[in-house]
Amino acid sequence: MLGPCLLPDTLEPSIWYTVFLPAERVLCEQIDGSRASVGQDQRNHHADVHIIPRRRGGPRNGVAFYRILEPLGGQIASNDGVARCVAVLAAGIFAVSSAACANSAVRVPAAAAHSYDGPLYVSGAAAAHPDTGAAGLVVDCRSWGGGGFKSAEIYVDGATADSPDQALEVARHEGTFGGVQDGLQVAKKEDDRVLYVLEVQGVVKQAVIVHNGPATEGAGGPGWYVESWASCDYSEFPRSFTDSIGLQIWTNSAGDPVPTTTIESWRGPEHCSWQSMTFLELGKAVYVRDPQPDLAKYFAHPYQPHAELPGNAVDTGFRRDGQRLWLSQDEQLAYVGTRSDVEAWPRTIKPLLCA
């Protein structure tokens, strides 16, 4: 049977959901695919759970964010509207069934500026990146990001849809793929597959391929679903997108964007009241701007809004919005700003988590 289906007029990238639980727990899925239960204080009949946009690459250096999965034996509602329908399977496990939300307004993508002549299906073994299928052949990256590929002959992982555009909408609601969610354009159509892309200055940086194929009854039966997807590193995406998800991109001294696998920073999540904090990840180190007072135990040094730049500070060569980045000799402090006015950001000394 189906749970309630209430669709919002617009789907925000990060909203609060209220979960009503006949059962005792909600499962969350870490961005890297592992699973962990929500804290004991949320194992109640009613719990508020925040959905965070998935960050490519997963949590690193002890900084982990979560997204909600379906509750075991529950139903999902939201004060901002619900972007999912819930179907109960015989095994007692819930699966997203957004295909039941046929009354949802489906966005019709425009045609891409450039068409694509390559294949829309290749086996994992034949793909440039085996985990991304044919989508990995479409993108042109300076730095690789990530992706996914549904290689099973019968689709079981989500909900099918009645059209390619609707499948893309369902996948957005399910959180199937990361990267840009709105504004993807059609670059190629076949009878049973359609390619959607994001072009940046005429170069494809993200690709999503939907397929019309067989699926289990629990998924809604045969229909359209996202089969493969791939993206470049977010440093190659438009700044309007990275700014919208709170991701801050740095450049080198020549002004070229630096891959997020080298350096990235992002604003803290609002549901932990950390939005005034900024996290800076550089290699294996995580530095934090303006940490909350109750987090002092996570740092060996205090944050300084105005500090003197040491003469032996090491210039990393990284820049962002007119600010430069130096490190102390022992790498326990990051100095951000100009030579005449820097902030001192302390390095974490143990994992700092927000779930």
φ, ψ of residue 211 in degrees (nearest 5): -135, 140
Domain-located, residue 7: no
pTM of the model: 0.71
In the prediction, which pLDDT does 56 show? 33
Do residues 228 and 256 share a domain?
Answer: no
Q: What is the mean pLDDT of the chain?
A: 76
325: pLDDT strictly greater than 50: yes
Domain-located, residue 88: yes
Spatial CA neighbour of 223 closest among 166, 178, 150: 166
Do residues 129 and 229 share a domain?
Answer: yes
Domain-located, residue 112: no
105: pLDDT strictly greater than 70: no
Do residues 212 and 306 share a domain?
Answer: no
Distance (Å, rounded) from C-alpha 267 to C-alpha 154? 40
φ, ψ of residue 98 in degrees (nearest 5): -70, -15
Last residue of a domain, one of 198, 233, 268: 233
Domain-located, residue 115: no
Last residue of a domain, one of 96, 114, 135: 96
Do residues 228 and 250 share a domain?
Answer: no
Tell me the chain's radius of gyration from C-alpha atoms: 22
Domain-located, residue 338: yes
Domain count, the chain: 3
Do residues 258 and 294 share a domain?
Answer: yes
Residue with the larger pLDDT of the pair 343 and 43: 343
Domain-located, residue 284: yes
Domain-located, residue 1: no
> Percent of the chain scored above 70 by pLDDT?
70
Residue with tokens 């597959």: 193
Q: How many CB atoms lie within 10 A of CB 59?
A: 16
Q: Between the CA atoms of 198, 202, 204 and 205, what dihedral angle is there, to the nearest 10 degrees?
A: -70
If phi > 0 it is left, if psi is from -120 to 50 it is alpha, else beta; for residue 321 that is left
333: pLDDT strictly greater than 60: yes
Do residues 140 and 190 share a domain?
Answer: yes
> Percent of the chain scored above 90 by pLDDT?
63
Do residues 251 and 228 share a domain?
Answer: no
Tell me, letter by letter, the H, E, C secondary structure of 136-179. Answer: HHHCCCCCEEEEEECCCCCECCCCCECCHHHHHHHHHHHCCCCC
User: 282 lies in which domain range?
Assistant: 246-346
Q: Are 247 and 53 within 8 A, CB to CB?
A: no
Q: Could you report the per-residue pLDDT of 64-103, keeping only the tens digit for each?
A: 333 333 333 333 333 222 222 222 222 222 233 333 333 3
Do residues 188 and 222 share a domain?
Answer: yes
Q: Is the dihedral of CA 177, 351, 260, 301 positive or negative?
A: positive
Distance (Å, rounded) from C-alpha 160 to C-alpha 213? 9
DSSP lists the bridge partners of residue 286 as 281
In the prediction, which pLDDT does 100 show? 35
Last residue of a domain, one of 207, 233, 259: 233
Do residues 267 and 188 share a domain?
Answer: no
Do residues 153 and 228 share a domain?
Answer: yes
CB-count exposure of residue 41 (10 Å: 0-12, 13-18, 19+): exposed
Rounded average pLDDT over 250-272: 95
Domain-located, residue 328: yes
Which residue type is seen at 23? A
Do residues 215 and 250 share a domain?
Answer: no
φ, ψ of residue 295 in degrees (nearest 5): -105, 15
8: pLDDT strictly greater than 60: no
Rounded average pLDDT over 267-276: 90
Rounded average pLDDT over 132-157: 95
Do residues 23 and 54 share a domain?
Answer: yes
Which residue type is seen at 287? Y
328: pLDDT strictly greater than 70: yes
Q: pLDDT band at residue 355, thresholds of 50, 70 and 90? A: low
Q: pLDDT band at residue 40, thresholds of 50, 70 and 90? A: very low
